[in-house]
Amino acid sequence: MIDVEDLIELVRNYNPKTNAELIRKAYAYGRKMHAGQYRRSGEEYFTHPVEVAAILTEQQLDDATIVTALLHDTIEDTKSTYGEIAEQFGAEIAELVDGVTKLTNLQLTSSETKQSENFRKLFMAMSKDLRVILVKLADRLHNMRTIRSLAEDKQAQKSRETMDIFAPLAGRMGMQWMREELEDLAFRVLNSEARNSIIRRFITLQRETGDVIHKITNDIRAELEKGDIDADVFGRAKKPYSIWRKMEEKGQGFSRLSDIYGFRIITDNEADCYRVLGAIHQRWRAVPGRFKDYISQPKSNGYRSIHTTVSGRDGKRVEVQIRTRQMNEVAEAGVAAHWSYRDGVRVENPFAVDPARWIASLSERFENADDHDEFLEHVKMEMYSDQVFCFTPKGDVIKLPRGATPLDYAYSIHTRIGDSCVGAKVDGIRVPLWTRLKNGQSVEVITAAGQRPQSSWIDIVVTGRAKAAIRRSLRDEDRERFIKLGRELARVAFDHIGKRATDKALSTAAKQLSLPGAEELLARLGSAELAARDVVRVLYPELATGGDEIDIKRAVVGLKPDQTFKRASCCQPTPGERIVGITYRGQGVVIHAIDCPVLAEFEEQPQRWVDLQWHSGVHPPAHTVSLDLTIRNDAGVLGRICTLIGEQKANISDLHFLDRKPDFYRLIIDVDLRDIEHLHAVMLALEADSEVASIERHRDAGRKP
């Protein structure tokens, strides 16, 4: 374990004016509180907070953050309290420790909490003080470095969480070194075979070609000397996970992957960055489409650099990053550069982004996400995306993720502009809305009154803001459609028992079902969240089932007295069809239609087969059968289909769309029927309708019984 004086010395290296006594006091307090606690590896538990503090010294952070690292588990894992820490170390440190504690508690309940909610809370914590996240990231990094002491299932869980949340979060904050290390540590757990394979290929490549990095570094230095440019040159092979991801994205093997080496050139000033770029491009051929100038157009987290890829020695592609020393400090520390100290004073780096402004701009992108999973989708999308920079007709710059379309551009200006967009011009030429925008293009949005977002737009846009706005508009539109469909479903269901679906009846049913009102009930009926038969049953339980019909429990003949049965969902056997039973331990008997393809799996297990037949009496309409329909996309067609089914005394229990085209819909309708004759009558009535293009019974052999 790092001694307290060694830790203080690490801080003094960048902050000679550090409050050494405060660090000693926190070190002693933390060690006392964690006395008798041990990690899974057998080490004293306090080694962990000390290592977290040491990681934060590498980022040259202030005393408050270092002390928070030493105390970050005290409230959670010891008898220490918020009040005690505030009394001994001040309100600022108490707030930071409490913030980290809340994040730790969040992770402890992550098995019960959706990952998207975790992410939302991470951003809430960020908005109060970004240093909470810096401590949490360092905490996660040390835990990943020592993850081998955990059980395998716990290793996998923590690694997935790291890959999905903490690594991209570190990247978005500009701490690329931490992102790469977190990804690599998680990759080692989640796919060790792939990682080891890549490392073995590197060793083989080095044996065959020699030290390529050293050779290319010398080549670059020689070119800079020719141009009389003073700069430092560093080279390295890319991390195994970065290479594996490129192989997956490009569908290429390791031998065909070219840009596996990266080089960084650090200059004294911005002008020299462009001189270096000129020297590199004069000496080696630039790879088209691989140039990015983040100096003239910085990323939102303050990152500035020139990126280019060239065909280097022996035709090998190499990626080159060019930036000044101050830019490099921000590239290494990211948003954390705001708190960096040197010689006892906070560093005034002109490129360090203000954390408050950065988190505000990031949070604004997700504020309209109504759904937690939608929120997570947007966060991941924004974190992994590079940016393109487009111009408005007036010359203003609009930043968008790579792959953005004119629709994304329209929504980035204003939701109203996006909703009413009917077309776009790029560099003065009319283009389709799905066109992918490129750096430097000028975009003009064409709008029209009365235009509304289309469902296909969801697949066109890439930004969270655009997706959220489109989904919100579609939900409003869908609700009106669902209410109309729900009213038709209710009418058919009530007609089936000789009643009318009046507003009063629907309001009464809504109250019984604990719904806000009749409109919500109809919306849920139309969206298949609620079955019409359940509404009828609430109001008229005595009419919901026939009087002389067979009890559903006695519908099958051939079972033993103690045996129960259920219908297989794969083939949905219906009274009147030939059936056979298959015994399942703990499930009783599952009934299959005699022609069900799933039965082939049991040919070698005759002892599990049971000879059965349906009872010959009248069955209640409680046997669900799925119908696959393709119908014309026109006003009133779906309502008429529902009416036809109702006229056959059948009840629709569920409905969902498989495909929506401008001219046709394909959907699955679950219908409750009595028997096979009832099914044939329903299908015949639907097939005879001119708006039905095709109809067949839907059977899913992939469904579990």
Question: Which residues does the annotation mark as catalytic?
Answer: 76-77
The two three-digit tokens of residue 25, written as one number: 């006091």
Q: How many CB atoms lie within 10 A of CB 16?
A: 12
The Cα–Cα gap between 234 and 220 comes to: 10
- Residue 98 backbone zone (phi > 0: left; psi -120 to 50: alpha; other: beta): alpha
AA identity, residue 42: G
CA distance 216 to 309: 13
DSSP three-state, residue 59: coil
Spell out the SS3 assignment of 388-453.
Answer: EEEECCCCCEEEEECCCCHHHHHHHHCHHHHHCEEEEEECCEEECCCCCCCCCCEEEEEECCCCCC
Residue 74 near residue 45 (C-beta atoms within 8 A): no
461, 470 Cβ separation under 8 angstroms: yes
**Contact between residue 70 and residue 27 where contact means Cβ atoms under 8 Å apart:** yes
Residue 251, Cβ neighbours under 10 Å: how many? 7
Question: Partners of 660 in the beta sheet?
Answer: 665
Q: How far apart are CA 198 and CA 196, in angstroms?
A: 5
Helix axis angle, 637-647 to 464-496, nearest 10°:
30
Q: Which residues contact 585 (CB under 8 A, 6 or more apart)?
A: none
Q: How many CB atoms lie within 10 A of CB 151?
A: 9
Compute and round to an integer the Cα radius of gyration of the chain. Answer: 33
Residues 407, 433: contact at Cβ < 8 Å? yes
Q: 470 Cβ partners below 8 Å, 6+ apart?
A: 411, 418, 453, 457, 458, 461
Angular region, 572: left φ>0, alpha ψ -120 to 50, beta rest: left
CA–CA distance, 97 with 348 (Å, rounded to integer) = 26
Q: Which of 223, 297, 305, 314 has the alpha carbon at shortest distance from 261?
A: 314
Distance between CA 79 and CA 37 in Å, rounded?
A: 12
Residues 6+ apart with CB under 8 A from 39: 45, 47, 48, 146, 149
Angstrom distances, CA of residue 303 to CA of 53, 321, 335, 354? 25, 12, 9, 12
Measured CA angle at 212 (ends 211, 216), to 5 deg? 125
Tokens of 338: 């705001």
User: What residues are paired with 398 via a beta bridge?
Assistant: 390
| C-alpha to C-alpha distance for 467 and 379, rounded to whole angstroms | 12
Considering Cα of 674, then 676, then 680, then 683, what sign does the dihedral take? positive
Long-range contacts of 249-253 (CB under 8 A, 24+ apart): none
